[in-house]
Amino acid sequence: MNTKWHQQNRMPRQATVEQRLAWHRAHQEHCGCRPAPKGLLGLGARPRAGTSRVQPLPAQGLLSFFQLLEPRMVQWLTKLINTDTPSDQKQPLDRLATWFAGQLRSCGAQTEILQNQEAGNHLLARWTGAGARRKPILILGHLDTVWGLGESQRRPARIENRKLFGPGAFDMRGGLTLVLALAKYLATHPSELGRPVTILLDSDEEVGSLTSRPLIEAEAQRSEAVLVVEPCLPGGALKTFRKGVGRFTISAQGVAAHAGVDYSKGVSAIQELAHQVLAVYKLNDPAKGTTVNVGVIRGGSRSNVVASQAEMEVDVRIAAAAEGERLTALLRGLKPKNRGASLQISGGINRPPMERTAKIVDLFHRASALAAQIGIELAQGETGGGSDGCFTAALGIPTLDGLGPDGAGPHALHEHVLIESLVPRAALLTQLVLKL
Ligand SMILES: [Zn+2]
Ligand SMILES: [Zn+2]
C-alpha cells in the first residue's frame, strides 16, 4: 500500500457520495496500492484500499440510481416518521404492514401478511430472482417503534441541517426506507438478482419479538445470510457483535402490619427487596461485559403500613451465551434475607448475544469488498443493544446488523437520520443483496 498517499488523502468521515467517488477515482489514479488483504478489512483497519488501480468502479450505476431516488426516500422516511406504530397498537401496525405489502407488491414481490392475534401482523415479501435454487438472502426489519400514539403529531418529521428528525427516524424508519429503495431497484432491474431475497418485517421487535421469533428463526434457517436494517454505529459502521439481553422480575412478599401499633408483627417486603437490589448489583462484571440494571422498582401502599409486597424489574446484558446461563442461575437462586419474607423470580435471557463468530467475520469481509466497489469504506463495531439479528446469529446463520442509514439518538428525542447517508446506504444494501 502507498502509505504516504493514504496519509495525505484520507476519505473524510462525513463524505458525500460525490466526495467518496472522487476519493476512489483519485485513489485509482495516484495511489496504485493493491486491494487490502482480508485481515486488514477488519475492526479499526483504516485507511484501507478497496479497489485495485485497473478496475473501474463497476457498481457506480447503483449510486446514480439512488441519487435520483433521494427525494422519494426523504418522502418515504417522512411518511413513516409521521405514522405512529407503538408495539402494543395492533390496528396502526396492521395498517402499516398492509401499506408496505402494497408497495413491495408493486415492485414485483410476492407478499404474505401473517395474521397475529397477540400483536400487530408480520409481513413477508419474496423475490425469486434468476437463481431460484440458491438460498435466499434474508432482510430483517421491524414495523414497530418505542413511541406512543400521537407522538408524531407532537413532533412531526422535520429537517434541520440535512438531518431528518422525528419519532423512530433512526430506529428504524430509516432502515425501512432503504427496504423501499431496494424494492424500487429490484422492480426496475429484476434480472440482476442472482438469488432469491426475502424481506421479513415484524411488529414486535421493540418488546422482544415474542410473537415473531419463530418466524424469524424459520426464515433464517433456510437463508444464506441475514442482513438487519437496524441503525448503524456512528459513521456507518456495521454491528457484528451484540450483547444478549435478559429481563427478570423479582418480587418480594412480606407481612402487612400497622407501622405504629403492630410494627414487630410485620415483615417488610420493601426492606427485603432493598437487600436484593444490592445483591443484584453485585453481579455486575464489566471485565466480562456483564451489566445488571434495576430499572423499575415499586411496592408498598402507605407510609404507615409495613409493606407486604414490592418488586423490581431487572435488565441483564451478557457478551456470551454461557454467561447468560450463569447469571440466570444466580438470579433464580436468590434467597430472602429477612425471616418471614419470600421471593418470586421470573424472566430469563430474552435475546442471545450475537457473538462475532468466524462466519460473521467472513461475511463482513465479503461485504467490505463489495462496499469498496461502490466507494464505501465499511467498518464494524459492537453494541450493548439487542436486535432480531441476535436470534439469527445464535442459529449460526451469518448475520450483518446495523445496515440502516447513518444518524443518532435511537429511542431518544434527538433521534434523526442524516439525509446524506440515504443514497450510499441504499446502494450498499442493494449491492449486498445482488452480489453476496
Ligand atoms: Zn430497532
Ligand atoms: Zn429499538
Ligand 2 centre to CA of 421 (Å) is 20
From first to last of the 436 residues of the chain, give the pLDDT tens digit.
455 666 677 655 555 545 555 655 565 556 544 333 222 222 222 333 333 333 444 456 899 999 999 999 999 999 999 999 999 999 999 999 999 999 999 999 999 999 999 999 999 999 997 777 899 999 999 999 999 999 999 999 999 999 999 999 999 999 999 999 999 999 999 999 989 999 999 999 999 999 999 999 999 999 999 999 999 999 999 999 999 999 999 999 999 999 999 999 999 999 999 999 999 999 999 999 999 999 999 999 999 999 999 999 999 999 999 999 999 999 999 999 999 999 999 999 999 999 999 999 999 999 999 999 999 999 999 999 999 999 999 999 999 999 999 999 999 999 999 999 999 999 999 999 999 9
Ligand 2 centre to CA of 231 (Å) is 9
Amino acid code (one letter) for 152: S
User: Domains in the chain, ordered, with CATH?
Assistant: 60-242+353-435 (3.40.630.10), 250-348 (3.30.70.360)
Q: How far apart are CA 190 and CA 184, in angstroms?
A: 10
Ligand 2 centre to CA of 386 (Å) is 8
pTM of the model: 0.81
How many other β-carbons are positioned within 10 Å of the β-carbon of residue 209? 28
The upper half-sphere exposure of residue 380, i.e. CA atoms within 13 Å in the direction of its Cβ, equals 23
As a whole number of angstroms, the longest Cα–Cα distance in the chain is: 90
User: Phi and psi (nearest 5°) for 347?
Assistant: 105, -175
User: With contact defined as beta carbons under 8 Å apart, do 43 and 361 qualify?
Assistant: no
How far, in whole angstroms, is CA 339 from its chain's centroid? 45
CA of 232, nearest ligand number: 1
Q: How far apart are CA 175 and CA 142, in angstroms?
A: 9
Ligand 2 centre to CA of 411 (Å) is 6
Q: Which three cell numbers stand for residue 168?
A: 423512530
At 4 the pLDDT is 64
| C-alpha triplet 375, 381, 382: angle, nearest 5° | 150
Q: How far apart are CA 267 and CA 264, in angstroms?
A: 8
At 59 the pLDDT is 54
Closest C-alpha among 366, 420, 388, 63 to residue 205: 388
Ligand 1 centre to CA of 8 (Å) is 38
At 111 the pLDDT is 98
- pLDDT tens for 374-423 read 999 999 999 999 999 999 999 999 999 999 999 999 999 999 999 999 99
- What protein residues have CB closer than 5 angstroms to ion ligand 1? 171-172, 230
CA of 387, nearest ligand number: 1
Ligand 1 centre to CA of 231 (Å) is 7
At 431 the pLDDT is 97
CA of 147, nearest ligand number: 2
Ligand 2 centre to CA of 206 (Å) is 5
Looking at 189-303, list the stretches that DSSP marks H as alpha helix, in order from N- to C-terminal side.
213-221, 269-281
Closest C-alpha among 313, 299, 380 to residue 350: 313
Ligand 2 centre to CA of 222 (Å) is 26
User: What is the H or E stretch that residue 240 is in?
Assistant: strand 238-242
Ligand 1 centre to CA of 235 (Å) is 17
Ligand 1 centre to CA of 221 (Å) is 21
User: What one-character DSSP code corresponds to residue 242?
Assistant: E
